[in-house]
Structure 1
Amino acid sequence: MLARRFEVWGVVVALAVVALAVLLGIRDGAGGVVDALVWIAALATVPTLGLAGAAHAVAMRRMQRVKRHDLAIALVGLAAAAVVVVAVALAPTQPILATALLHCCWPAWVVGLAFAAYVLHAATSRPLAPGVAPRTIVVLGGALQGRHVGPLLRRRVERAATAWHAQGDAGVRIVVSGGQGHDEPRSEAAAMAEHLVEACGVPAAAIDLEDGSTSTEENLLLTRALGAAEPWLVVTSEYHVPRTRTLLARLRIHGDALGSWSSPVYRPGALVRELAATVRPARGTGIVLALLVVGTTLLGVARVAALVGGVATGP
């Protein structure tokens, strides 16, 4: 059910965009509807993917590790917004050229609309097991700062420690889950355990280490392999909660996810990463979407080339 909520929101967003495009462009026939569709999709991308890219460009200055996907989020978001700005500037004098330019960038508009659907999906995420006391608290790993937990990971660990202390003497265990990155001097689990003991007052005897995972799914699978008692309370950053809940449901692990605070500047780009990690379309669906996007984009490129060629040759 949780895995399908994003698909439902995707359908809702797509239908809303198509309905508006029909309303605005039907007087000009099918071509008018398609042109209205690309303008709506492009304009919707600016406050979604464009804003996320701009925010992520700012957030990268404070990240412990900047990866290639971080650069991609920033560059694609900023580039998409720049294309829309150019199209809007051209529209009063060169409306056909402006529209053709937007048709060249359908991949970005599809991602922008998908991101809007994912934001709605995240906003409507609800607890899986409300009011159920956990037997295990699982803390998901994140980037280290040298040998110690970085700011984002520290907030996860301290949120987990608060939840553990709130359980009193119920015998709840904490599993710190995270392997060692290629640029990290030790495992994230070891750094988290150290912080729990030295800064949060959690006894070492209450902590179990899972130090072999490299992804969220591995976090959960390897923690289950340790024999961690259910139900679980999985502590992660707030933007990561919806995907964690989806994985818990898919892996049939009884429990829920709890979010720790993250910087508002970091969240938009992080949600784009969550979108990329969540969306796994069926092979047939992916092929159909890819063909539609590529076909529409090629038509846009052909229109721009024709218009530029006409300007170059003159009357």
Structure 2
Amino acid sequence: MIFGIAALVPALFFVVGVIRDRRRLGNAVWLGVTLVFLVLWLVFRASVNGGWSAVIVGYALAAVLLCLGFVLPAALVANGVLMLRREGFGLANLLSLLAGLAIFGVVAAFGFATAHTGPVVDAVIGSLLIVAAYVAFLFVSLLLYSIVYGSIGRRTGFDAIVVLGAGLIGDRVPPLLAARLDRALHLYHREVAAGRTPLLVVSGGQGPDEEVSEAAAMRDYLRRRDVPDELIVLEDRATTTEQNLAYSAELLADRGWTGRAVAVTNNFHVFRAAVLARRLRLRMQIIGAPTAWYFLPSAFLREFAALLTHNPIVHTVTCGLLVGLHLLLTLTP
């Protein structure tokens, strides 16, 4: 009962947070805390009731642990190898491989601790597991809330559609960026059908290995699909997501635009772009475009790492306090 009641508090904060602003990072944390208490409530109820409910919950927990400890890291390693083969060598493409190996490392450390108990071993391995559990909690919370954020919100009634840039191949639009443009075109045609003529802002500067700016290539892509040139606004300075949003908003403001805007990116990038839009105080919704399945694990891991950098002091202090409490309890006679 106590866990069920405890779950109501973070659930209330979650609902209020979503109503006030769906783009708050805290919403993801409150969602995660709610789910933790609900799981604890379910386990407690099953242990009290006994019978088939306890057996089912026991098998479910065993299956989850098996997936987390072996199936998930194996899948991440396999995905990492696939990423290297299809996308080339690079730190961003190594993330799923490194994450899989890290999980195997945590499992191995836990196995070592069970075979070699002692105050020092318990302190070191326990600290490692606490940090791993904290990171896993944040990742799952942000992943789930990213899905929630991408599933709710307005889908029509936009006066401007901002397309966030991505890398080019020479002067060609690659599939990742094409997905964003196709999603923007879908929104554009839906608004036109409803009697509106939204502006299309294409945002992206020119990288060192690109023959033209991303914005220029995106403009040509839209022109070939019969979007009138006067409805396309070029923003060709931005090199980061934050600049994409800020510079695009400046261009719209310079044109005297005061309507409702939406920014289009890939689905894995939606929530971080929304957090940045909130930080910039922009009244802008973010909508995602589909991404190739094999690209998603590394992409979500990259987004997660970027979101962690938004509050590094908070995460460092929290981990420090948890580990410090563990060491105090473990090493104190």
Q: Into which bin does the TM-score normalised by the smaller protein fall?
A: 0.7 to 0.9
Opposite residue 203 of structure 2, the aligned amino acid is: S
CA distance in 2, matches of 1:291, 1:49: 28
Contact kept, 8 Å, 1:137 with 1:175, in 2: the verdict is: yes
Q: Secondary structure at the match of 1:212?
A: coil
Judge which range, 209-218 or 237-246, deviates more: 237-246
The aligned counterpart of 1:153 is 177
Contact kept, 8 Å, 2:156 with 2:187, in 1: the verdict is: no
**Structure of greater relative contact order (alpha carbons < 8 Å, 6+ residues apart):** 1
CA RMSD of aligned residues (A): 3.9
The aligned counterpart of 1:81 is 104
Please point out which of 116, 122, 135 is paired with 1:111: 135
Please point out which of 274, 286, 292 is paired with 2:303: 274
What stretches of structure 1 of length at least 5 have no aligned partner?
24-39, 303-315
CA distance in 2, matches of 1:206, 1:113: 44
1:264-312: per-residue Cα shift (whole Å, max 9, x none)? 2211221122222223236355324245448869x99x9xxxxxxxxxx
CA distance in 2, matches of 1:48, 1:79: 11
Please point out which of 20, 23, 30 is paired with 1:8: 30
What stretches of structure 2 of length at least 5 have no aligned partner?
1-16, 46-63
Give the structure-1-normalised TM-score.
0.72
Distance 1:269 1:122, change over 3 A: same
Distance 1:124 1:203, change over 3 A: same
CA distance in 2, matches of 1:243, 1:231: 20
Q: Secondary structure at the match of 1:208?
A: strand
Distance 1:66 1:167, change over 3 A: farther
Q: Secondary structure at the match of 1:185?
A: coil
The aligned counterpart of 1:218 is 243
Give aligned-pair identity as a percent: 30
Distance 1:144 1:113, change over 3 A: same
Distance 1:104 1:54, change over 3 A: farther
1:58-73 aligned at under 5 Å gives the runs: 58-63=82-87, 67-73=90-96
Q: CA deviation at 1:61?
A: 2.8
Contact kept, 8 Å, 1:152 with 1:262, in 2: the verdict is: yes
Contact kept, 8 Å, 1:127 with 1:256, in 2: the verdict is: no
CA distance in 1, matches of 2:100, 2:205: 31
Q: CA deviation at 1:212?
A: 1.4
The aligned counterpart of 2:196 is 170
The aligned counterpart of 1:242 is 271
1:102-161: per-residue Cα shift (whole Å, max 9, x none)? 536334443222211112211221567525411111111112122211111111112212
The aligned counterpart of 1:289 is 319
Q: Secondary structure at the match of 1:266?
A: helix
Opposite residue 159 of structure 1, the aligned amino acid is: R
1:130 paired with 2:154, answer yes
1:156-213: per-residue Cα shift (whole Å, max 9, x none)? 1122122212222633111111122333333211111121112x22232221111111
1:15-68: per-residue Cα shift (whole Å, max 9, x none)? 578889999xxxxxxxxxxxxxxxx999747666775564344234323x7542
Distance 1:126 1:185, change over 3 A: closer
The aligned counterpart of 1:186 is 212
How many residues are treated as equivalent by the alignment?
280
Q: Secondary structure at the match of 1:209?
A: strand
Distance 1:282 1:251, change over 3 A: same
Contact kept, 8 Å, 1:128 with 1:256, in 2: the verdict is: no
Give the structure-2-normalised TM-score.
0.69
CA distance in 2, matches of 1:282, 1:83: 23
